[in-house]
Amino acid sequence: MTSYPQRGVILILTVVVVFVIASIAAFLLAVSISSSNREKSRDLKFKSLEIAEAGVDMALNSLRQGTDGMDNDGDGTVDNAIDSSDLFAPAVVAAVEGRLGRIGTVAWTTANDLDGNGMPDFGEPNVAPLAFSGGELFTYTVFSENDGIDNDGDGTTDEADEASCVSIIAKSEYVGMRSTLRYSGRFTEKLMPPNPPLWIPRAAMTAGWALDIKGHPSILGAFGNVHTNQNLAFHGHPTVAGNASAVGTISTGGGGGGGGGPIIGGDILPGVDPAAIPAVIPEMFRGTADFILASDGKIYKNGVEQPSSLDTGWTLTGGKWHFNGSGSRADDFEAGTYFVEGDVQISGRVGSGGGRGGGSVTSFEMTVIATGSIKMAGNSSVSRDASRSDYLLFVSGGDIDISGRSDLGDSDPTGDRWEGIIAAHGSMRISGRCEINGALVAEDAGHKGVDIPGHPTITHQFDWQSSLPIIPPANNRYVFNPRFSAFEER
C-alpha cells in the first residue's frame, strides 16, 4: 500500500481554520463598529431633538411672559403695553419680538434669507444661536396669515382667520446633527378658569388704576359710590352720593373747577383693600352677538352676510366702524347685540327716521362689544339690548371715551331694565354733559388712569350681577396651545 505524507494537509487545515476565525472576528468587529456608529448617530439625533424641543419651550415661555399682564423683567412696564387690541399688530411685534418667542433671531430679516426658505438658518447673517447643553439653538415666530403654514389645522393655508395664529420654528445643532421643529396654533386670551366668580357692580365707577374726578360731575343713585385700586383725586366741586374709597390716597383739594371741594354723601375711605376688578375680554361674548361687524367691512346677522345696500347706520371708514343715527340714517337699523372687530365711533342725534322702517325712536337699543376702543360723542342716545340678562351696554378691548350730551342706559324709575354696564379693558374718560344710567368699570390694563371731567351725571340705582368674570391677576391673560406640524433633521 502506498503511503502519503500528512504534514502539508495539517498546515492547510490550520490556515483555513485561522482564516475562518479571523473572518468571523472581522465580521463581528464590523457589526460592533456599525452598531456603535448607529447608536452614536441615534444619540446625536436624540440630543439635537431634545435641544430643539427646549427651544420650543423657551419660545413658548417668552410668548407667555410677553402677554401675561406682569412686569417679568422688572423694567417698570407690564408687557410693554401689549394687550388684546394690538397683540398681533406688525409694529408691536417688530418692537418687542425678542419677548415674543424669537431667540437669537431678533435682528434677522428676510434680507438675510440666503437660501430663500422664508426662515432663518444656521450661518445666515443676524442669526445668533444660543449655546445650550453642548449644542446651539435659535427660535423664530411668525405672526401672520401669510406664512404658507396651515396654522389652524383646517387643511388650507394663509386664510384671513389665521391672523391670530402663531407658528414657532426651533432649530438646533449638536455635533453636526441639526434638527428643526415647527409648532403652530392659535394664540388667544384666556377666557376664564372653571366657574369663576362673577363681578357685582357695587359702585357707579370702579377703576383698576388712578381715578381723577374734576369739574362738576354727579355720581348718584343708591349705589352712587366710586372706588379705585390706586389713588383717587377730586378737583373742583363734584358730587358723590355714596362712598369714595381707594386702595391708595384720596385727595379732596386741588381746585380747578370752582366751588370749594367735593360733596361726599357717604364716607371717605383711603387705604382700603383692593376691589375685585373683572377681566374685560370682548372675545368671550362673540357668541352672544346678533350681528358681527367684521374688519373687512362685512356685516353678518346670525352668521349670514347682509346686503351692502342696507342702511343700518354702520359704516367702515379708515379701519374704524362708525355708527351715525342722525336724520334719516339707520332706516334698516335693528336692535340687538353688535360684536365689532376693531374700533367704534358713535355719533349723531337720534330723531325721526332713526329706526327700522323710518319710525321715530328715542334711543338706539343696542349692546356694543368691540375688540378695540369705543368713542361716543354728540347727542347720541343708546340703551342696552333689552334681551340681555347680563346688563352689558358697552364692552371694549381698548379704551372708552364718552363726551358731549350722550345719553346711555335710559333711566326707568319702575325697574332696572335700562341700566347697563360700561366696561373697558383699557382706560376710560367720561366728559361733557353726558348722562349715564348704570355702572362703569375700567380694568385700565395700560395704567393710563380714569378721567371724569366736566358735568357728566352717572346714576347707578340697582343691585345686580354681571356676566364679567373675575380672574386673579396672577393668571396669564393669554393661552397658546400649539399643535406639532413638522420635523426634519440632517
pLDDT digits (tens, 9 = 90+) for 46-66: 888 899 998 888 887 777 666
The residue with greater pLDDT, 396 or 381, is 396
**What 3-state DSSP class applies to 269?**
strand
For 446, which DSSP code? T
Lowest mean pLDDT segment, chosen from 16-20, 268-272, 483-487: 483-487
pLDDT of res. 464: 75
| Distance of alpha carbon 243 from alpha carbon 289, whole angstroms | 35
The model's pLDDT over 80-125, given as tens digits with 9 standing for 90+, comes to 434 333 334 444 444 444 446 788 887 888 889 998 888 899 999 9
Which pLDDT band holds residue 300 (cuts at 50, 70, 90)? very high
The set of cell numbers assigned to 459 is: 346714576
Is residue 489 pLDDT above 90, yes or no? no
Q: Is 90 exceeded by the pLDDT of residue 321?
A: yes
Mean pLDDT of 273-299: 89
Percentages helix, strand, coil for the chain (3-state, rounded to 5) are: 20, 30, 50
Q: What is the mean pLDDT of residues 31-42?
A: 70
Most confident of 162-166, 304-308, 476-480: 304-308
Beta bridge partners of 467: none
Instruction: Give the per-residue pLDDT at 173.
Output: 93
Most confidently modeled range among 1-15, 104-118, 391-405: 391-405
Q: What is the pLDDT of residue 406?
A: 73
Residue 204: which residues within 8 A CB-CB, separation 6 or more?
A: 219, 220, 221, 223, 224, 225, 226, 242, 439, 440, 458, 459, 460
pLDDT value at position 361? 46
Half-sphere exposure of residue 54, counting CA atoms within 13 Å on the CB side? Answer: 18
Confidence check: pLDDT of 415 > 50: no
What does the mean pLDDT of the chain come to? 78
Burial readout 239-262 (b: 16 or more C-beta within 10 A, e: otherwise)? bbbbbbbbbbebeeeeeebeeeeb
Cβ proximity of 228 and 450 under 8 Å: yes
- Whose cell is 421643529? That residue is 181
Q: Given this model, what pLDDT does residue 444 score? A: 83
Strand runs labelled E in 49-204: 130-132, 135-142, 165-174, 177-189
Is residue 438 scored above 80 in pLDDT? yes
* One-letter amino acid for residue 16 of the chain: V
> For 84, what's the count of Cα atoms within 13 Å in the CB-facing half-sphere?
32
Contact assessment for residue 215 and residue 456, using Cβ atoms and an 8 Å cutoff: no
Confidence of residue 250 (pLDDT cuts 50, 70, 90): very high
Instruction: State whether residue 372 is helix, strand or coil.
Output: coil
* CA pair distance 100, 139, nearest whole angstrom: 10
How far is it, in rounded angstroms, from Cα 336 to Cα 382? 12
Distance CA 346, CA 394 (A): 11
pLDDT at residue 273 is higher than 60: yes
pLDDT digits (tens, 9 = 90+) for 225-242: 999 999 999 998 899 999
Residue 29 has pLDDT above 90, yes or no: no
Q: What's the pTM value of the predicted model, to 2 decimals?
A: 0.59
Per cent of the chain over pLDDT 90 is 30
Contact assessment for residue 369 and residue 282, using Cβ atoms and an 8 Å cutoff: yes
Residues 117/110, Cβ–Cβ less than 8 Å = no
3-state secondary structure of 192: coil
Residue 453: pLDDT band by 50, 70, 90 thresholds?
very high
The residue to which cell 359704516 is assigned: 315
| Torsion, Cα of 34, 37, 41, 47 (10° steps) | 140
Residue 318 has pLDDT above 60, yes or no: yes
Question: pLDDT tens across 150-200, in order?
Answer: 666 677 776 666 656 778 899 999 988 999 998 877 665 554 455 667 888
pLDDT band at 416; cut points 50, 70, 90: very low
Distance CA 393, CA 424 (A): 11
With bands split at pLDDT 50, 70 and 90, how would you rate the model's confidence at 354?
A: very low
Q: Which one has a higher pLDDT value, 465 or 191? A: 465
Higher pLDDT: 398 or 35? It is: 398
